[in-house]
Amino acid sequence: MTEPSLPAIRVREVTRDYRRPRTSLTRPAPVVRALRGVSLDIARGQRFGIVGESGCGKSTLLRIIAGLDRPTTGSVQVEGVEISRLPERRLGFLRAQLQLVFQDPMGSLDPRMPVADIVAEPLVAQGHRDNAARVRELLEAVGLQPEAAERYPHQFSGGQRQRISIARALAPDPRILVADEPVSALDVSVRAQVLNLIADLVDRLSLTLVFVSHDLSVVRHVCDTVAVMHRGEIVEIGPTEQVYDAPEHPYARQLVAAAPRLRAALAGRTAADLAAETLAARSDLTRPDASPDSPRPTGSHPAGTHSEATPKDQP
Ligand code: ADP
Ligand code: MG
């Protein structure tokens, strides 16, 4: 067995340089230094948020942690195993331990596959058969009806599609869930519900969460610890409340000062208030398939309303 104090994820001095195509015959190819020496520990059960503006290296760091990309230099350990130099064929253990949810659920779900096959995909990859019962259980866990299993991604709203990707991520019973901007492509009115679902599942399944967003209020909603990234480096790291209430690094201060919804939250409004406000702001559009994204039956909001735009420009 591994020692209990071992962090779920340990990153040491990781750099990642991307070589851009040459623009001149005489000068060397330009290099983008996406990560410039990132170190962090994520404890088991921690809900670790990473914030920072677009292009600061958040997705690059997640891809490296998930074994989808390799660092130029540095070390990455997941559950004590050094993954940065593992050959492809030995990354199977990582797929069982760590699963990902991406920003764009439509882009990451095969449009030709029924939901049952999409959700069972990681199980099939691991050699499991007869997955129908497991798929039913997973759909229920993410708040979808059993009938969803026979339908196709385009028949769902954006929020529901993100529930399908969450169900698929949970299928192999991972210990670590990595989410890259999981609600950024969703309509504001369903963000709080999908965030609550993630927080709830992380809690119930005792998962370690690594959660990236450019939106500080979203990270505040689900994370106990936050790292602020700036130009490929982590400039501040600490308990979420502390970093948001009293940021120390000049860039972290700037980021917090520029987040209006966060300022509202710090002024006393809770995540539940924000969720209630977004629900109240929804129009009265009724959609028959809206139920899983509808508010929980608290009695204080009209159920079944749905104003979410369905992205049509994606494959
Ligand atoms: P974030 O997720 O914070 O928006 P990324 O990790 O996607 O940032 O990108 C960090 C930097 O690395 C950006 O300058 C981006 O253009 C560059 N980059 C990311 N992926 C590649 C790639 N495959 N090839 C070249 N440059 C890349
Ligand atoms: Mg990104």
CATH of the domain at 116: 3.40.50.300
| Index of the ligand 1 atom closest to the CA of residue 229 | 3
* pLDDT at residue 93, rounded to an integer: 84
Q: Tokens 């170190």 sit at which residue? A: 39
What is the number of structural domains in the chain? 1
Q: Tokens 């195509």 sit at which residue? A: 21
Instruction: Print burial letters for 228-251: b (CB count within 10 Å at least 16), e (below 16).
Output: bbbebbbbbbbebeebbeebeeeb
* pLDDT at residue 301, rounded to an integer: 38
Distance (Å, whole) CA 281 – CA 183 = 18
* pLDDT at residue 87, rounded to an integer: 86
Q: Which residues are within 8 A (CB) of 224 and not within 5 positions of it... i.e. 6 or more apart?
A: 46, 47, 48, 239, 240
Domain-embedded: residue 278: no
Distance of CA 76 from the midpoint of ligand 1 (Å):
19
Domain-embedded: residue 123: yes
Domain-embedded: residue 288: no
Which residues surround the ion ligand 2 when the cut-off is CB under 5 Å? 58-59
Count Cα neighbours of 160 within 13 Å in the Cβ-side half-sphere.
26
Domain-embedded: residue 143: yes
For the stretch 42-60, pLDDT in tens is 999 999 999 999 999 999 9
Answer yes or no: is the C-beta of 222 below 6 A from any ligand 1 atom.
no
Answer yes or no: is the C-beta of 51 below 6 A from any ligand 1 atom.
no
Cβ count within 10 A of residue 21: 6
* pLDDT at residue 37, rounded to an integer: 98
Q: Which residues are within 8 A (CB) of 206 and not within 5 positions of it... i.e. 6 or more apart?
A: 45
Domain-embedded: residue 258: no
* pLDDT at residue 305, rounded to an integer: 38
Domain-embedded: residue 292: no
Q: Which ligand is nearest to the CA of 233?
A: 1
Distance of CA 136 from the midpoint of ligand 1 (Å):
37
The protein residue with its alpha carbon nearest to ligand 1, atom 26, reads: 18
* Total count of residues recorded for the chain: 315
Count Cα neighbours of 90 within 13 Å in the Cβ-side half-sphere.
7
| Radius of gyration of the chain, Cα coordinates, nearest whole angstrom | 20
Domain hosting residue 151, numbered range: 9-17+32-246+303-309
Q: Which ligand is nearest to the CA of 229?
A: 1
Q: Which ligand is nearest to the CA of 180?
A: 2
* pLDDT at residue 39, rounded to an integer: 98
Look up the pTM and report it: 0.83
Domain-embedded: residue 100: yes
Answer yes or no: is the C-beta of 103 below 6 A from any ligand 1 atom.
no
Answer yes or no: is the C-beta of 34 below 6 A from any ligand 1 atom.
yes
Q: How far is CA 135 from the centre of its chain?
A: 21
Answer yes or no: is the C-beta of 283 below 6 A from any ligand 1 atom.
no
Distance (Å, whole) CA 72 – CA 194 = 35
Domain-embedded: residue 45: yes
pLDDT mean for each 10 residues of the chain (315 residues): 77 96 86 97 98 96 96 96 87 90 88 96 90 96 97 96 97 97 92 95 97 93 96 98 96 89 62 60 42 42 39 38
* pLDDT at residue 29, rounded to an integer: 85
* pLDDT at residue 54, rounded to an integer: 93
